[in-house]
Amino acid sequence: MILSGLSPLLRIPLLSGLSREALLRMDPEIAHGATIAALRLGLAPEQEGADPPELRTTLCGLDLRNPVGMAAGFDKNAEVPKPLAKMGFGMVEVGTVTPRPQQGNPRPRLFRIAAAEGVVNRMGFNNEGHEAAFARLKGARVGAILGVNIGANKDSEDFVADYVKGVTRFAEVADYLTVNISSPNTPGLRNLQADEALTRLLAAVLKARSRASVRVPILLKLAPDLDEKALDGVARVVLATDLDGLVMSNTTLSRDAVAGMENATETGGLSGRPLFNLSTMRLAQLRQRVGTLPIVGVGGIHSPESAVAKFEAGANAIQLYSALVFGGLDLLDRLKRGLAAAVRSRGLHSVAGLTGATTAEWASGRASL
């Protein structure tokens, strides 16, 4: 309470002080809790000025004031979408939320690979459940495009039914929904990416959407560990439905990019800078298979150059999480300025013009950062 009474001028150094040196010295999960608490207290630095007009774009019919989003997993319980919007994210994806609350895996379950600016997590969908998130979001005016990422309880007897519940619960409060079938930390979940299971899942989810009061766009979030043959299957299934878009990617099980480093052998999904090349290659391979279907590019974005590369590989909008741990909150501002500069230097008018410029290079594995 005392902190929340501080003047805005004092708040900025406080949170940035907390988010860099101090936070990196803490246990990662405690640091995350402290960050959420600080945001809840209103200590977030607020964006100064409006976004450059070049950054305005659309995604699945939604107007984004800028195309940079907070990825799922940071605000699992929808506690701070509004402060995140004020900080300057054009889109905030909360969740993953499951129908019933669940504790997730035992701690420790979140690890930094500092030498590579990577993160390994095996959180296991720790969250307070649908009702808690819904109560926070109902009637909330977030100030950015709000995505709700939906999942299944670990002990559920019917994963598909859990996603249907997610659509039914959140259709009226979300600008879009993400069906997350790519977390490596819920046993069996990623099997839903296989042809037959995916066909059944999407049919059920889209049927639930048709019964809801609003036609909320639905995206599907995929793993970067799908090979080209698996991507063929996903594309075939998805293009036969009226799914609105895809999110590429979640974390990877691969450790090639961090072999031998501290924490690299921890079980879980790897994210952050060492994920960039793999997830961007998969994004480009997906782009080649789905035509103009919207894709949100996520995975390892850590610099303006990498943000531009995600678009050029085929993204229509981007999200990040892990690099904020190492780069601090001013990274968001640098990404947006870098994207706007890239748009101008190429003689374009909108960030949408960057999409797909180098898809072939990224898809073939020839491109890397």
Ligand X SMILES: Cc1cc2nc3c(=O)[nH]c(=O)nc-3n(C[C@H](O)[C@H](O)[C@H](O)COP(=O)(O)O)c2cc1C
Which positions are annotated as active-site residues? 183
Q: From 196, 130, 139, select the one nearest 165 (Cα to Cα).
A: 130
Tell me the backbone φ, ψ of residue 145, rounded to 5 degrees: -65, 130
Q: CA 250, CA 157: separation in Å to the nearest integer?
A: 24
Q: CA 83, CA 170: separation in Å to the nearest integer?
A: 20
Where does the chain show beta strands of DSSP type E?
Answer: 57-59, 62-64, 68-70, 91-97, 110-113, 118-121, 145-150, 176-180, 218-222, 245-248, 269-272, 295-298, 317-320
Q: From 315, 234, 331, select the one nearest 279 (Cα to Cα).
A: 315
Q: Which two tokens stand for residue 109?
A: 């379950």
Q: Is 149 helix (H, G, I), strand (E, B) or coil?
A: strand
Q: CA 93, CA 87: separation in Å to the nearest integer?
A: 14
Shortest distance in whole angstroms from residue 287 CB to ligand X: 17
Shortest distance in whole angstroms from residue 130 CB to ligand X: 14
**Is the alpha carbon torsion for 195, 197, 199, 202 positive or negative?**
negative
Q: How far, in whole angstroms, is CA 81 from its chain's centroid?
A: 13
- Residues near ligand X (CB under 6 A) are 71-73, 76, 95-96, 110, 119, 121, 123, 125, 149, 180, 183, 221, 250-251, 271-272, 275, 298-301, 320-323
The answer to whether 155 touches 188, Cβ cutoff 8 Å, is no
Shortest distance in whole angstroms from residue 92 CB to ligand X: 12
Shortest distance in whole angstroms from residue 22 CB to ligand X: 19
Nearer residue to ligand X within complex by CB, 57 or 127: 127
Q: CA 266, CA 109: separation in Å to the nearest integer?
A: 9
Q: Is 93 helix (H, G, I), strand (E, B) or coil?
A: strand
Nearer residue to ligand X within complex by CB, 32 or 287: 32
Nearer residue to ligand X within complex by CB, 90 or 299: 299
Nearer residue to ligand X within complex by CB, 11 or 167: 167
Nearer residue to ligand X within complex by CB, 226 or 275: 275
Shortest distance in whole angstroms from residue 141 CB to ligand X: 24
Q: From 321, 259, 253, 260, select the one nearest 28 (Cα to Cα).
A: 321
Shortest distance in whole angstroms from residue 201 CB to ligand X: 15
Pairing label, strands 145-150, 118-121: unpaired
Nearer residue to ligand X within complex by CB, 42 or 219: 219
Nearer residue to ligand X within complex by CB, 95 or 217: 95
The answer to whether 250 touches 180, Cβ cutoff 8 Å, is yes
Shortest distance in whole angstroms from residue 251 CB to ligand X: 5
